[in-house]
Structure 1
Amino acid sequence: MVKVKFIEETGTRRDVDAKEGEPLMYAAKDAGIEGIIAECGGSAMCATCHCYVVEAPNGPLPAPDVAEADTIEFNAETPTEASRLTCQLVVTAALEGAVFQVATGR
């Protein structure tokens, strides 16, 4: 398991164990992270699993593909350079210790 941290919209910090090879969204949903709604079920269509990368201690994460970038641009309420969809981030050992802030303003 890969340990990551989510900061919920309320500011609550939650440690989450994520299974390698699965989308990060699954771990967030299984842990009951407030604000990760995932309405489209992981198809990069709704941006209701939008988070900001606060810290990536093992180096930068891979860049979003075109579909993820478009969904963030057109559907996310408050996109930034740090925006990612957790449904599109596949858990690898490189995510160990990463911190994600759940996006607000849906």
Structure 2
Amino acid sequence: MAKITYVEHNGTEHVVEVKPGMTVMEGARDNGVPGIDADCGGACACSTCHVYVDAEWVDRIPGKEPMEEDMLDFAYQPDPVRSRLTCQIKVTPDVDGLVVYIPEKQI
């Protein structure tokens, strides 16, 4: 299991254990983390699982694929470096300790 910390816009932290093979989005959804809407269910067809990856983790997780880059154009206040869609981040032992910040809203 990997521990992922989801930080709500108001600063509330949710530390969740997520099984390898799942996505960071599934970990949030399955544990009731507010602010990750995941309207498309993880198909990379919306931007409602948008987060800002902690700066220390940006270079430690696999990069964005073109489809994710395109969908981030629709996210609320995307950051060119830190914004990610949680449905596109696979959980592996390498992401144990990952911290993500949930934006004020999803659009």
Does TM, normalized by the shorter one, top 0.5? yes
1:25 corresponding residue in structure 2: 25
Counterpart in the other structure of 1:13: 13
Q: How does 1:44-55 map to 2 (within 5 A)?
A: 44-54=44-54, 55=56
- Matched residue, 1:42: 42
Shift of 1:77: 1.2
Q: Note the C-alpha offset of 1:46.
A: 1.1
Write the distance in 1 (CA, Å) between the matches of 2:57 and 2:18: 15
User: TM-score, normalized by length of structure 2?
Assistant: 0.90
Structure 1 residue 56 and structure 2 residue 50: aligned? no
* Structure 1 gaps, min length 5: none
Which runs of 5 or more structure 2 residues have no equivalent in the other structure? none
Question: Partners in 1 of 2:72 and 2:99 — Cα distance?
Answer: 19
Distance 2:45 2:97 in 1: 27
Matched ranges for 1:62-81 at <5 A: 62-73=62-73, 75-80=74-79, 81=81
C-alpha RMSD over aligned residues: 1.4
Distance in 2, Cα, partners of 1:39 & 1:62? 23
The number of residues matched between the two structures is 104
CA distance in 2, matches of 1:52, 1:12: 15
Q: Deviations over 1:53-101 (max 9, x none)?
A: 11429x521111000011002x101111101101111101111111000
Percent identity for Structure 1 against Structure 2: 38
Runs of 4+ in 1 over 3 A off after TM superposition: none
